[in-house]
Amino acid sequence: MPTNDFDSNNLSQLLEQLRASFMSGSFSEDDLSDPGRNPQPTVGPVPQTARGFRVRVDLTDAKPPIWRRLDLPGDLTVGGLHHVLQIAFAWTNSHLHRFRTSSDYGGPSFLSAFDVTEGDEGVTEDDVRLDQILAEAGDRLWYEYDFGDSWLHVLKVEKILDDPPTHPVCITGRLAGPPEDCGGMWGYYEMAEWVRSGYSDDLRPEIFEDAAEGKAWLPARWDPDEFDRDALNIVLGSVEFGRGSPGQISAGDGSAPGVAGGGGPATGVPAELTALIEQEHLRGGTGLQTALAHPAARSLDEVTAEEAASATEAYRILLEVIGDGTELTGAGYLKPAVVEEIARRTGIADWWIGKANREDQTAPVAILRDTAKAVGLISVRKKRLAPTRTAKSLADRPAELLEHMAGKLPLGRSRWDHDAGWTAVAVVGSSESSEQWRDRITEALFGLGWRSGHDGLGPLPVTSPTYDVLTMLAGEARSRALPHALVAAAVARAALGAS
């Protein structure tokens, strides 16, 4: 930050030194420092004896304090710590970050993967273990996330662990992390006060037109006073974070053996999804890793009978309307009367622009039919559409119907359907608000290398057979607001476990 304490005597001395250097011919670029480059952090050798650290991480300026006490293995990389902190405070890894070894904003700092892609030079966070920069109780590390809202975390070593944990563990903590993009600490205070008041309209933040909009924007079931240590440890225990060992230091892209800069699933993740995560990591993306590391939504077992009935309503109406079977038009479409009845009974006709009596001009009905076929509920033979045996047996058992559909995901045979399907399952299966699904899926697909437009900069489509099923189960037929999003999330989680 510029200051006014550089007086004329200082300036005269500097000019005299520069003049003397030029006159002697000894001046070089080394005599100047780059004002945009932070000093390099001091990194020690890898200790011969493995140790761990008990640390307390505080979100600065939070009143009352928001903090976590963590036990960390010493061979955890600084890049791996980034992902630990993202999970511990329920961030979504949607912004840039930086680690510093000083409280000074211009102090020594580590390069993130983004910094490396920008051509910056220095010490990369994926190349350094915690036990190379932390040594004793009282040592500190500063972590800033989202340079706009500026969430600054201070990590302080409380105790050296001679018996290091095998993976990061949360010992205790207090309060939920702030919602993403809420405007910094003051925005968080405003959100927290509103939620604590029971969503009083008098305290509703002005950015929301009404309480419904505010509730939809907030993370699902967000309570500023709630912190679930057990749920956090389940996630921390299921993710493989970046670890480093002697002789296995990467060139900064986190791809060398033994050093993985990000956090990825350790166990229980399907091989096809694991392959996508590895592909994403090599490209510097983190969308899939972040989604899978996020606290899980409810399991399918926790979905009530009423919720299952509401989520599967559109599919059960389709089966009721076609009965034992219905003839298709010469072009292979549902007949107008059938389309009209499906649209009316499912609620599509209430918001769809048009008469909603032609399948080729009523996209939601066409999607309902296509996805019903994809999950094995209907089949077409000789231009006659009929329910399958599975559909007949499950039509009046919504919970089992949901389970059947989860077991079919992801859908499709093309490479796009494969990548987009797994991405949809991972994102929807996290506890993200449904309003963020499309952006998160687009971000993850971009991280996998998908592009659109002649210049590769066009917006990516989100639609895939898998996403269509999940949004239909989320209640898209009744409302574009997806009233049953949490049920769809439970189905996606079940799909991850069933695959």
Evaluate if residue 62 carries a pLDDT over 70: yes
Give the chain's largest Cα–Cα span. Answer: 98
Interhelix angle 398-408/485-498, rounded to 10 degrees, is 50
52-179+229-262: CATH number: 3.10.290.30
Whether pLDDT at 456 is above 70: no
pLDDT score recorded for residue 255: 29
441: CB partners within 8 A, 6+ apart? 420, 423, 424, 427, 462, 467
pLDDT band for position 90 (50/70/90)?
confident
CA distance 398 to 315: 10
Report the pLDDT averaged over residues 343-355: 95
DSSP string of 328-362, one letter each residue: PPTTSPPPHHHHHHHHHHHTGGGT-SS----GGG-
d(C-alpha 304, C-alpha 261), whole Å: 40
Residue extents of the structural domains in the chain: 52-179+229-262, 184-217, 300-498
Summarised one tens digit per residue, pLDDT across range 274-289 is 778 777 765 666 778 7
Q: What is the pLDDT of residues 459-468, one digit of tens each?
A: 678 889 999 9
- Residue 368 in this model has a pLDDT that exceeds 80: yes
Top pLDDT among 296 and 439 is at 439
Query: Which pLDDT belongs to residue 446?
Result: 85
pLDDT of residue 238: 65
Residue with the bigger pLDDT between 400 and 439: it is 400
| Greater model confidence, 157 or 236 | 157
